[in-house]
Chain A
Amino acid sequence: MRLKKNIATSDEGFIFNPGTGDSFSTNEIGTEIISLLKENKPQEIIIETICAKYDVDQNQFEKDLDDYLSQLKDYTILE
């Protein structure tokens, strides 16, 4: 599970997939997850990092992250 190499991201939460021409917008947590993915961080580290920073319990975030990653896959942003 890795971010496609050529995916362009910006700090404001814009994502551009040059392979398909699609643009996306994501929120603050989404931006953080994508930058962690860019650094090839494994899922456990992502969960650890976000749960340490935000007021959320781990089960809840795992569920939300699953949903988020499945969308990234649908949008062919993840390999």
Chain B
Amino acid sequence: MERQLKNFGQLGNKRIVIAVTALNAIDSPGPGVAVIRAIRECPDFDVRIIGLCYESLEPGLYMHDIVDKTYQVPYPSSGTDTLMGRLMHIHEIEHIDLIIPNFDAELFNFIKLKDKLSDAGIRTYLPDLVQFEARDKIKLYEFGNKHGLTIPKDIIIHQVKDLSEAAEKLGYPMVVKGKFYDAIVANTLEQAQKAFFKIQAKWGLPIIVQEFINGTEINVAALGDGEGNAISVIPMRKLYITDKGKAWAGITLDDTSFIELARKFVKVTKWRGGCELEIMQTADGKSYIMEVNPRFPAWIYLTAAAGQNQPAAMVKMALGEKVETFTDYEVGKIFIRYAWDLITDIREFQKISGTGEL
């Protein structure tokens, strides 16, 4: 580590302006605040952090030691032209060097805008569209098959009558999933039908029916360089989860098989940027990739605490520095998430709500 960091002398002179999204550090948190905390802790550069928020009550924007200034941006559904217009307005004022988007729903737009942002002098460090779409839930099985990664079998269906055929192939229990969110385990056809209608009403079609994998869930945060190398890989097991299934506490693990799996994923996809693999390890030691999140997870600060500061490394790579692959990290580092009531004033709320800036 020490030796690597000395190479970053030239970054130290300039204040880097970094815009970060997902400041919703609430009970089901976005990663933004954790990403900023990790970046700020890196001694190799001086940063000015611009928060980009969607809602005026995202806690991060009231944390003035985390963000220097926040701007509201249009929701992803308003499209790239609108987003680009707003970003250029902010860029004129702030001279942004780098944008780190952290929401699943906004990534498509930012990836689409990559070249335009780069023309304007704003860097990003994102996968390209092909990489991004390959890990989409609906295509993951096909993708895994092609590259020799173990993914639970799934069948995409559009009609409730296709459930019985899917059940014959997958067996019970099976998992009925929506194309964006939600997953319900079904033990009988009746349960599966109920789940189908419930999810269809919420997320529409198609419905994904997936083989049920029983085992221990492991999460891995990885950072790829776009050439096939994983610069950092940190595996973590959740120690306790909230009723929404989010990590409440987690611990870094020492298990090379997860690291190898993440390296293989980064290699075959040539993944650029951060990602999180959700892995299920069965009793007989088989590891399935359940899902791939195309961005840093909310627990990303644990990577910095364990000695592989992934957000800081990504900043360096985005700015064109060569970062050597991390080798060591501290096993047994624990994070415990906690809630804290931040106090602010009506004036701040009115300012961000009324002017879109704080």
Interface residues, chain A, CB within 8 Å of chain B? 10, 12-14, 16, 23, 25
Contacts and interface: CB of A to CB of B under 8 A. Distances in A.
Interface stretch (B112-120, B284-292, B346-354): B346-354
A14 B349 CA distance: 10
Contacts of B353: 23, 25
A59 B97 CA distance: 53
Nearest to B350: A14
A47 B355 CA distance: 29
Contacts of B355: 12
Contacts of B346: 16, 23
Main secondary structure of the interface of A (DSSP, over half): strand
B352 to A, nearest CB: 11
Nearest to A12: B354
15 contacts: A10-B350, A12-B354, A12-B355, A13-B354, A14-B350, A14-B354, A16-B346, A16-B350, A23-B346, A23-B349, A23-B350, A23-B353, A25-B350, A25-B353, A25-B354
Contacts of A10: 350
Nearest to A14: B350
Interface string B336-358: 00000000001001100111000
Interface string B315-355: 00000000000000000000000000000001001100111
Per CB-CB distance, the 5 closest pairs between chain A and chain B, nearest first, are A14-B350, A25-B354, A23-B350, A16-B346, A14-B354
Main secondary structure of the interface of B (DSSP, over half): helix
Nearest to A23: B350
A38 B354 CA distance: 22
Contacts of A12: 354-355
A10 B350 CA distance: 10
A67 to B, nearest CB: 21
Contacts of A14: 350, 354
Contacts of A13: 354
Contacts of B349: 23
Interface in B214-264: none
A13 to B, nearest CB: 7
B110 to A, nearest CB: 29
A41 to B, nearest CB: 25
A23 B346 CA distance: 8
Given A23-B350, A25-B350, A25-B353, 6 more contacts: A10-B350, A12-B355, A14-B350, A23-B346, A23-B349, A25-B354
Contacts of A25: 350, 353-354
A25 B350 CA distance: 8
A12 B351 CA distance: 9
Nearest to A15: B350
Contacts of A23: 346, 349-350, 353
Interface in B269-294: none
Contacts of B350: 10, 14, 16, 23, 25
A14 B348 CA distance: 11
Residue among A10, A13, A16, A23 having the largest count of chain B Cβ atoms under 10 Å = A23
A16 B353 CA distance: 12
Residue among B346, B349, B355 having the largest count of chain A Cβ atoms under 10 Å = B346
B342 to A, nearest CB: 17
